[in-house]
Amino acid sequence: MNSSAFLSGGSFFMLSVSYRGRFAPSPTGPLHLGSMLVAFGSWLLARHAGGQWLVRIEDVDRTREVPGAAANQLTTLEAFGLQSDLPVERQSDRQPLYQRALQQLLTDGMAFECHCSRSDLADQGGIHRYCAGQRQRAQPATRLRVADGNRIGFEDALQEYFEQDLGTEVGDFVLLRADGCWAYQLAVVVDDAEQGVTHVVRGADLMDSTPRQMFLQQQLGLATPHYLHLPLLLDTEGRKLSKSLAATPVDASDPLPALRLLWSLLGQPTASLGKTSSVWRLLDTAAHQFNPQLLQRAPVQLMQAPGCP
């Protein structure tokens, strides 16, 4: 179904007394149109709800971090007028919070050290159900135990109902990697809760992480935020944008054309933005004109490569 399903998750605004959203890029490179669609979309939804919007740099995975990328992303967001309502947080500064959550799960018997190697895991079809590690590793990973038959589903505010059998589809998942890096799943759950995020708006490619995050929230006794997964952006050939040439960085020195393109990719009528040449005026108009009912759940495709006249 291609029509807007915004109201299928009807409580997205109605039940929330307050709204705090966030944009949480990983510093793996400059922001491209796909990531800016999520930045602008999450900003518009927060503004529409009269809520706050935070930026958090998700830099726990040191192996994927590109030096200078975080600073570059923040400069781009600033040029696009998308500024965090509270000081920007970085996950690398928040490790004691993850440590505390991990300790709680270890104490409760929900987390365990795992010495399995990649080939041990491959023998289980890549899904960890039991430890088959042949030898003790100097630094084991720590995983969260997932019981058999643990099905978790959620009503997204835009996408169709989504459900996973965590035992068979995901298995016991990593919280702290063997290389010492915190796993995204743990860090994001701890941060969203600690920062008081009530509404998580992100790309549809993260739908299948949500049941894991809800399970972690349950184990840690944390509230589950509302979720809205924005449509994926496809290039002119129908490929996921991040895998294509169109993933070229947005031009921070000329934000207006990109903002207008993003506005229409979010299903909003181009004419409603008017003709302003000021980023601030455009954002002000956008915040007032934004209609979440026009968001589409189906992937949106670029009609021409960014930068083409």
Catalytically annotated residues: 243
Q: Which is nearer to ligand GLU, 40 or 114 (CB)?
A: 40
> Considering Cα of 235, then 239, then 242, then 248, what sign does the dihedral take?
negative
Query: Other CB atoms closer than 10 Å to residue 111's CB: what's the count?
Result: 22
Q: Is 183 in the site for ligand GLU (CB under 6 A)?
A: no
Q: Which is nearer to ligand GLU, 199 or 297 (CB)?
A: 199
Which residues within the stretch 43-62 sit at the binding site for ligand GLU (CB under 6 A)?
Answer: 58
Q: Is 244 in the site for ligand GLU (CB under 6 A)?
A: no
CB of residue 272 to ligand GLU, shortest distance in Å: 27
Q: Which is nearer to ligand GLU, 228 or 282 (CB)?
A: 228
Q: Is 188 in the site for ligand GLU (CB under 6 A)?
A: yes
Nearest in space to 250 (alpha carbons), one of 236, 238, 262, 268 = 262
Q: How far is CA 90 from CA 87, 191, 264, in A?
A: 10, 10, 31
From 9, 13, 20, 24, residue interacting with ligand GLU (rule: CB under 6 A): 24
Q: Is 20 in the site for ligand GLU (CB under 6 A)?
A: no
Which residues within the stretch 194-213 sit at the binding site for ligand GLU (CB under 6 A)?
Answer: 202, 206
CB of residue 33 to ligand GLU, shortest distance in Å: 14
CB of residue 248 to ligand GLU, shortest distance in Å: 17
Question: Please, what's the b/e burial string for 135-156 (b: 16 or more CB within 10 A of its CB; e: otherwise)?
Answer: eeeeebbbbbbbeeebebebeb
Q: Which is nearer to ligand GLU, 58 or 156 (CB)?
A: 58
Query: Is the separation of the CB atoms in 258 and 283 below 8 Å?
Result: no
- Residues forming the site for ligand GLU (CB under 6 A): 24-26, 58, 188, 202, 206
